[in-house]
Chain A
Amino acid sequence: MRSGTDRLPPRVRTLYIHLVLITAGLLILLPYYLMVITSLKPLHEVFTDPFTWFPSRLAWENYREAWTHAPFARYFANTLFIAVVETAGVLVTSALAGYAFARMRFWGRELLFTLFLGTLMVPGEVQLVPNYITITRLGWLNTYYALIVPWLGSVFGIFFMRQFFATIPQELQDAARIDGASHLTFLRRVVVPLSRPAFITVALLTFLGSWNALTWPLIVTNTPEMRPIMVGLLSFSSEWGTQPRLLMAAATFSVAPVLVLFFVLQRYFIQGIARAGMKF
């Protein structure tokens, strides 16, 4: 890309690139390394001067202790359930709404879309208390309903689907109309199969958002049975101090599933974003 490196032989250029990427990668991962290495330190080595870069032994028991410190099995199950249901729900509502915005004409379309986008500009903290009161009035406090329903509509998801669906050629839609197909049929039979990258992208981002959610679940759950993982991580910190090795162990096994998911799906993920194009 730069004229300088263009003149280097390709082998050297690749080496150069690898070097840059590895250095950058190591720097980026430094805090993460601290987290993982702390999770494997025995108790007396967590706080030492000078800092121990590698523990004398790998304290795998930290993971067991962190797992049993709070009902993490339950937290995991909750988080998984909530994330899956929420993702499925978001895909459905976003596809429907995105399709309407992209391929249907109706009164108030632009206005409504702008309104939807506008909600992204308000900090979520403002919505906490009114939503809490709404949830209480509905009797949903400390239930899965409270954790899932408010997030079944995603403006980002709608926006993304709309961008992506807009790239479907008009000829396909005309052909479907001639065949007498309804909008729903067209959506189901033609648009969705063509939009796999978009669905994967929205699914991955929604899943991630749900997995990492902290503030809302913290407020609407009262008992450990209903809590997701991130809330569980909080139990390692308090007014009086933190238990770093347990927190880091828990953080590591909380992050692992999402990382694996990303690693496996990254190509679709990027494709999805690419095809959606970023037209406002």
Chain B
Amino acid sequence: MAVDAAVGSPAGLGPRSRTRRRLLENVEAWLFLLPAAAVLAVFHFFPILYAFFVSLLRWNMIDPVRPFVGVENYVRLAGDEKFLTALGNTTYYAVVSVAVALPLALLFAALLNRRITGVSWYRTAFFIPYVTPLAAGAMAWGWLYHPDRFGLLNYLLDKTGVPPQQWLLDPRQAMPALIAVAVWGTLGRDIVIFLAGLQYIGAEYYEAAQMDGATGWQLFRHITLPLLSPTTYFLLVISMIGAFKVFALPLFLTGGGPLDRTLTIVYSIYQQGFQYFRMGYASAQAYALFAIIFLITLAQRQIAARRVHYDA
């Protein structure tokens, strides 16, 4: 009868005991949330609020003088050539890396979604880059990307007659080169998540469609893709968010160069805040980034509402 009575509520009747029940359940829920919420409040919410407060100051972290400058930092970054460059670079990186990574991961997930011998080994192999510490991986990629004839990639290209490329030193190739490393790194995780999504699709859908005479491609387009859309959407969102926060890659591989072509927003925040100690300005940039990510996620949510099909 009491539709919204939850597990564990005392079996009383009447309006007063119902509100009391509701109150008790609220308290119980908050108690369940308390451990996680306490940690998150202190170590995630508080810093974010603190950073907002700092973004309104001009401060180098240790100077006792820290003037309040209002929105000056925000105004400045709107016209800051370096920040705008970083914004452009990061957007390019996010769009391309996700556009390359997801279809590739889906392809491999489809191949791995069969009962073939050694599938565990293949899956582990694809997963290795994801767990490799970037400090070591970056060094290996540095050797691959060494400019001139000495680099390994150039050495292999040389065999096919292609002249040596500058890779990380070429302003036009540096970002694509970084994107390749990024895709290499997240492929494993994306494949695993797609695998999970694929397994979620019941075999009966395929059987029914095949009985109707559907071909492989039609199966893919009309069964797999739509039923996979929650997974795709999930990966799209977390990949985008992660891509906009990219920092370790340019830090280890290019130092933001050449000519600031691989300067990303978080790298810019790091430079301003941790190298030049302009904490106020860095915090403002962080909030600008947050706003951007938030808007993009919202936009993705709008698209998802129309295109993502959840299973009944």
B290 touches A121 (CB 8 A): yes
Q: Annotate A76-103 by CB proximity to B: 1 below 8 A, 0 otherwise.
A: 0000000000000000111011011001
Interface residue B175 (Cβ < 8 Å from any Cβ of A)? no
Chain B contacts with A in 122-150, Cβ cutoff 8 A: 122-129, 131-133, 135-137, 139-141, 143-144, 150
Interface residue B152 (Cβ < 8 Å from any Cβ of A)? yes
Interface residue A31 (Cβ < 8 Å from any Cβ of B)? yes
Interface residue A193 (Cβ < 8 Å from any Cβ of B)? no
Interface residue B77 (Cβ < 8 Å from any Cβ of A)? no
A183 touches B37 (CB 8 A): no
Please give me the residue from chain A that is nearest to B229 by CB atom: A278
A31 touches B129 (CB 8 A): yes
Total residues of chain A contacting the partner, CB 8 A: 104
Interface residue B312 (Cβ < 8 Å from any Cβ of A)? no
A31 touches B135 (CB 8 A): no
Interface residue B47 (Cβ < 8 Å from any Cβ of A)? yes
Chain B residues lying within 8 Å of A30, measured Cβ to Cβ, are 144
A18 touches B29 (CB 8 A): no
Interface residue A240 (Cβ < 8 Å from any Cβ of B)? no
Known: A104-B25, A123-B289, A274-B199. A177 touches B8 (CB 8 A): yes
Total residues of chain B contacting the partner, CB 8 A: 99
Selecting from B38-46, B80-88, B91-99, B166-174, the interface stretch reads B38-46
Interface residue B283 (Cβ < 8 Å from any Cβ of A)? yes
Chain B residues lying within 8 Å of A259, measured Cβ to Cβ, are 124, 127-128, 131
Interface residue A212 (Cβ < 8 Å from any Cβ of B)? yes
Interchain CB contact (< 8 A) of B128 among A3, A28, A51, A151 = A28
A6 touches B35 (CB 8 A): no
Interchain CB contact (< 8 A) of A5 among B6, B120, B133, B216 = B216
B39 touches A96 (CB 8 A): no
Chain A residues lying within 8 Å of B293, measured Cβ to Cβ, are 121
A126 touches B241 (CB 8 A): no
Chain A residues lying within 8 Å of B131, measured Cβ to Cβ, are 208, 212, 255, 258-259, 262
B35 touches A92 (CB 8 A): yes
Q: Annotate B222-254 by CB proximity to A: 1 below 8 A, 0 otherwise.
A: 001000001101100100010001010000000
Known: A126-B48, A153-B37, A270-B195. A29 touches B200 (CB 8 A): no
A153 touches B26 (CB 8 A): no
A120 touches B241 (CB 8 A): yes
Known: A31-B144, A123-B245, A149-B39. A51 touches B152 (CB 8 A): yes
Interface residue B177 (Cβ < 8 Å from any Cβ of A)? no
8 pairs of A and B residues whose beta carbons are closest in the complex: A251-B136, A153-B39, A273-B196, A278-B234, A106-B29, A274-B196, A130-B47, A127-B47
